[in-house]
Structure formats: structure tokens, C-alpha cells
Structure 1
Amino acid sequence: MSAMSSCRQSVAEQDADAGDAQAEANLQLYNHFTNLVSSLPSPNGLTHSRLFLHGQGWHATQGAMVGSMVASACFSARPTDIMVATLPKSGTTWIKALLYATVHRGEHPPDAADHPFHTLGPHECIPFLELQLYNYKTGRVPDLEKLPDPRLFATHVPFVALPRSVVASPGPGCKVVYVCRDPKDTFVSLWHFINKLRAKKGMEPLSVEFAAEQFCAGVSPLGPYWEHVLGYWPAHLARPEQVLFFRYEEMQRDPAAHVRRLSEFVGLPFGAGEDGTADAIVRLCAFERMSELGATKDGKTEMLDNAVDNSFFFRRGVVGDWMNHLSPEIAQRIDAVTRSKFQGYGLISL
């Protein structure tokens, strides 16, 4: 063996040793946070699996909370990063699709026959940050530093739980796009989604009465709902250039206008020769179209605690569907909590 070959082998061995050491450190970090979450209070709430109560006052499954803790400890945001933030069932899939299609319209025109959405779902195009980092449980994680700008991520965690580098102040931080939805529609969509997951596990469905009681008490995945919204709303008011706040209902009324706002917010405004592009993006990402694509009808998407059928992410997506499922008493109770929580914040009732 030549000296040069020996040297190369030595470097390769050193790299392998360093990789093994890093993998072991990653695994230890994951185990530390898993043990920490396991020691937290665990209320019986609106979910398909066990929820834990974080010291900051929000609830999550073990996987989601561990992923959030790893992200807080390890993730370094870039000023060019864009983060989608939502509560579950608040328009997450739609805003992911709109953002991806808007940011990548140069290389993937929305009317192109080979657009990625024909083979990939929005959750594959914009992954959840916590899911990416939850791979620490294997000792191996993807090298997020190698991803090209702009990196697109999503999260369900409250504003208070975002990694410091995401909302650095003073500092560049990164862009955050938040979408909120009427709490009654959010609840109904979440209730249906969770019961689908429970059915897959052979579990009994949750009654709407029990689920509503837990929702109003704040015991829901990544809830309480109202505190989640009230985390991002003041951040938007204080730093509108960094935190964009959309309402699902307003997006439904004029989606093209919101796509234009989104493009300007992320620094990629529509220019000359792009007349009609915002409308084309809206058509591409329309609920009816997306729900009929093979990529969204078939297969599964890996989430933090289980794989979810892609079809589960599409139910109806309409405004006011809660009227088909909630009694007047339940609707009034949710409205009462909303008025109480939002009073004095300058945030009109949703």
C-alpha cells in the first residue's frame, strides 16, 4: 500500500470515528430529552396517543416534544430560512403547498406537467423541523446545513418553544409564516383527524362532547389553541417583517391576494411577465386538485409518532363546517372561551 493510500485510509477512518462519536452524542441527547419528557405530567386529552404537559404550558405527544427540545438545543436558523407555523388542522397542508409553489416557481412553474406536486405531497416538500431532528433517536440526523437556501421548514410548536435562532432578537432570525383558523373549525377538523388515527389503532372514537371539553380546557396536541395564537399574534405586531400572520378564512376569500403577500414577505415578489402566476399557484394548490393527486391520495407520511395516511390530511377544508357537527351549546362554549382569551389583545374574534 502506498503512503498516499495509507494517508487516505487514515483520514477516512478518522472521519468514521468522528461520525460514530457524533452519532453517540446525538443518541445521548435524544435519550436525555426522552427521559425528561417521560417525567412530565400526562393529562388524558384530545389525542390518539399520550400527551405530556411542558413547563411552558403546552401539550404534545412525546415525539413532538422531544423533537422540539432537540431543535431548541441544536438547530441554527439562517436569515434565509422560512418557517411555516400552525396548529394542527389549521391549514397546514395548504400553506405548505402555497409557500413551496411560490418560492420555487422559477424552476417549477405552477402549470408545468412535471411539477413536484404530481409525485410529492406538501409534507414531503416542506418537512416538519421536529421530525427532521427526531431522527436523533437513531443516532443519525440529516445534515440540514447542506440544504440550499432558502430552506423551508414547518412546525406546530408554540412561539415560546421555537428555537432561539429562529426568532433571534436582536439578530436576523428567519421568516415565520403563521396561519390561524376559527377555533370551532380547527376543533372539528382535529377531532375527525384524531378519530381516524384512533380507528387505525383499533381504538374507540372520542365523542364530540368529551373532545370539546378537553379542547376548551387546553388539553389538545400543541394546545391550548388560544395561547398558541396569542404567541404568534404579538410577534407579528412587533415584527411584521419577520412574522406574517394569516387567517384561514381570509385566505379562502382571496387566495391569490394572500399568495402575492406571501411572495413579497419572503422577498420574492411577482415581477414583470408573471401576470396570472399567483392565480396559477392557487389553482395548483386548490383543495379539490391536491386531494385527487396520487401523491396525496395514496401512501403515508412519516410523522413524529406514527405514519399517517396521506388521505387523512384532506377532509373538506371549508369554512364553517363546524355547524354540521357541533351543538349550539358546544359552539357557544368555544366562543365564550375565545372572547375571554382574546379580549384586550386587539385580535378580533375568529
Structure 2
Amino acid sequence: MSREELSIQYHGLFLPKETHSVNSLKFAQEFSFENDVIAVTYPKSGTVWMQEILPLILNDGDLTQIHTIPNWDRTPWLEETRLAVVVDQLKSPRALVTHFPYHFMPASFHQSKAKAIYVMRNPKDVIVSSYYFHQMAGFLEDPGTFDEFLDKFLDGNLVFGKWTDHVKSWKHNNLGDRIMFITYEEMKEDLPAALRRISSFLGKNLSDETIHTIAEHCSFNAMKDKPMSNFSLVPKIYMDSDKSPFFRKGVAGDWKNHFTPEQLSRFTSTINKEMEGESFSLPWSLD
């Protein structure tokens, strides 16, 4: 099926019909933010990782939730249908995630004390991860060849649009000290240090022992083996791990195994052109 058949269109963006509806998007716009925290990502940039991390930090390392509640109910997406079902069960401060661009956020978010953590990932690894996810996700269109998928990514013809538009929308914010930026690569390189940064931003003074416990339970291998975290509870018709595992590699730099020199040149020139004149620079070299 095509993207148009599998998606709902919302303010110019295509979103998967399987997880989004007119009602869920209305619910998101009417959602009342308080002192919550929301992790913001372009798809395949570390969303599920943050779904694991945030409740552990907010609950001082208590492991109960990660063993008893699926991650999509523990840290639900703002824009997806599941939020309305579980919202009353979320303890304040609530942990949420979103793929929304900045200008899609509801009015209450801007008027509240809610905090945002924007996770950025090298777009070359984002596209590789997304390519394999499209192969196994029955609610997304078939990706075709990697070369064909590369064109779709650069043109913004995927769910949630262009990567560059998403990053720019959140970089040009007026949230002040209510937002922090962190990279997937930073988290991979030194997860305990990243957890300390996040904890400090959220006003949590966690002990080294608690940080170590959280880091241990949020490692790729630990999450890969947890049914409440690895999406193995999702029916195969929606996510078929035989086509590609959901927890595939969880590394930085896998793009080197997929890009030809011509593809890398095309990718780099397009991204650099779209970022030209921006007041911020990307934290990776795209060459």
C-alpha cells in the first residue's frame, strides 16, 4: 500500500493511520501540559530509548514500571491514540514522547512549565534505521531499494516530513531553559554522563549508584531482552521481526555500511544546502 493509503494527513504531514486518528490529534492539541517532560525526536532518533530513560529518572531508579508496563503506556506519544487511554494513569510529572515539529505543539505546552529534551541523531544513521523499520512495519509503506528510500527521505516524502525541517523547527524555539538538546551519539559514547545531564535538567539529584542502575537497564542488550521494552508484544501483522528486528544494532556509524560514494555526495549536498544560513551548526560532519 502507498503512503497515502496508510497515512492520515495533518497540516501537511503524513502520519501513520494505525497509531493516529482525527480524535488523537484533537486530543493532543487539547492536552493540558503541567510540569511534565517530553522527549522530542524525529523518528528513529532514540525515541524508545527515552521512553525507557525518563520514567526511571523521574522515579529515582525504581525499576517496577519497566518490568510491568509496556513502554508505549509508560511514556506515551502525545499525538497517538494510546495517550487518551492511559493519561489518567500517568503520575505527575508525566513522561511523554513526540515526533511533532515545534509549531505543532499545543498552546498549553507553551504556557506551562513543561520541559522538552530534543534528541538528535546523525541523519545518515536515521535514514538507515528508518529503512529497516519500514521493511518490518506493516503500517508503513514498503521502502523499496535503499536508493529509492534515500530520495524519499531527502524529499520529505516519509511520515513526519523532512528531517531538516524537524530539527530547524525545534532549534528555533522560545523555550529558554525549558529545553535541552542531546545527541544519540553522546548517549552511546557515555550513557551515565548523558543520564547525569538529563537528571540535572529535570532537577533530579540522583546518586552514582542510581545512575549506574539506570544505565545498566537502559543498555541496548538489556532493553532488547525485555518484553515491556522490545515491542515483542506487538502483533506480527504490525511489526514483523522476521523481516528486520526492531532492536537491530543500536550503534552510531552503521550508515558507512549502506551509502555508496554517490549517495553520500547526494545526501550531504542536499542536507548542507537546506541547513545553509542557519544560526546553529550540526554536531556531526556529514561528509
User: Under a length normalisation based on structure 2, what TM-score does the superposition of the two structures give?
Assistant: 0.85
Alpha-carbon RMSD? 2.9
Pairing 1:323-334 to 2, within 5 Å after superposition:
323-334=256-267
Pairing 1:1-350 to 2, within 5 Å after superposition:
50-51=6-7, 53-55=9-11, 57-62=12-17, 63-64=19-20, 66=22, 69-78=25-34, 80-105=35-60, 108=62, 115-132=64-81, 141-142=84-85, 144=87, 147-168=90-111, 172-198=112-138, 206-235=144-173, 238-270=174-206, 274-297=207-230, 299-301=232-234, 307-308=238-239, 312-345=245-278, 346-348=280-282, 350=284
Partner of 2:161: helix, strand, or coil? coil
**Alpha-carbon contact 1:72-1:161 (below 8 Å) kept:** no
| Residue 243 of structure 1, CA deviation | 1.4
**Alpha-carbon contact 1:67-1:133 (below 8 Å) kept:** no
Number of the residue aligned with 1:25: none
Aligned AA (2:199): S
| Residue 54 of structure 1, CA deviation | 3.9
Shift of the 297–72 alpha-carbon distance from structure 1 to 2, 3 Å rule, reads: closer
Partner of 2:172: helix, strand, or coil? helix
| Residue 231 of structure 1, CA deviation | 1.1
Structure 2: runs of 5 or more not aligned: none
| Residue 193 of structure 1, CA deviation | 0.4
| Residue 180 of structure 1, CA deviation | 1.2
Shift of the 130–320 alpha-carbon distance from structure 1 to 2, 3 Å rule, reads: same
Question: CA separation in 1, counterparts of 2:230 and 2:175?
Answer: 38
Question: CA separation in 2, counterparts of 1:275 and 1:143?
Answer: 32
Question: CA separation in 2, counterparts of 1:50 and 1:294?
Answer: 27
| Residue 307 of structure 1, CA deviation | 4.5
| Residue 182 of structure 1, CA deviation | 0.7
| Residue 123 of structure 1, CA deviation | 2.7
Question: CA separation in 1, counterparts of 2:228 and 2:86?
Answer: 26
* Number of aligned residues: 278
**Alpha-carbon contact 2:79-2:98 (below 8 Å) kept:** yes
Shift of the 298–194 alpha-carbon distance from structure 1 to 2, 3 Å rule, reads: closer
**Alpha-carbon contact 1:300-1:309 (below 8 Å) kept:** no
Shift of the 190–145 alpha-carbon distance from structure 1 to 2, 3 Å rule, reads: same
Aligned AA (1:239): L
Question: CA separation in 2, counterparts of 1:204 and 1:151?
Answer: 35
Partner of 2:255: helix, strand, or coil? helix
| Residue 148 of structure 1, CA deviation | 2.7
Q: In the TM superposition, what whole-angstrom CA distance separates every residue of 1:164-198 from its partner, at most 9, and x where no partner exists?
A: 11123xxx341111111111100110110011124
Q: In the TM superposition, what whole-angstrom CA distance separates every residue of 1:289-346 from its partner, at most 9, and x where no partner exists?
A: 11022434573348xxx84468953111100101112222222222222212222321
| Residue 266 of structure 1, CA deviation | 1.4
Question: CA separation in 1, counterparts of 2:53 and 2:90?
Answer: 20
Partner of 2:131: helix, strand, or coil? helix
**Alpha-carbon contact 2:119-2:183 (below 8 Å) kept:** yes
| Residue 283 of structure 1, CA deviation | 1.2
Partner of 1:165: helix, strand, or coil? helix
**Alpha-carbon contact 1:119-1:294 (below 8 Å) kept:** no
| Residue 98 of structure 1, CA deviation | 1.4
| Residue 279 of structure 1, CA deviation | 2.4
Aligned AA (1:193): F
Shift of the 74–348 alpha-carbon distance from structure 1 to 2, 3 Å rule, reads: closer
Q: In the TM superposition, what whole-angstrom CA distance separates every residue of 1:121-149 from its partner, at most 9, and x where no partner exists?
A: 43332111222467xxxxxx437356431
| Residue 151 of structure 1, CA deviation | 1.2
Compare 204-213 and 281-290 and name the one that shifted more: 204-213
Partner of 1:142: helix, strand, or coil? helix
Question: CA separation in 2, counterparts of 1:184 and 1:317?
Answer: 14
Shift of the 331–155 alpha-carbon distance from structure 1 to 2, 3 Å rule, reads: same
**Alpha-carbon contact 1:342-1:349 (below 8 Å) kept:** no
Structure 1: runs of 5 or more not aligned: 1-43, 135-140
Question: CA separation in 1, counterparts of 2:21 and 2:168?
Answer: 20
Number of the residue aligned with 1:6: none
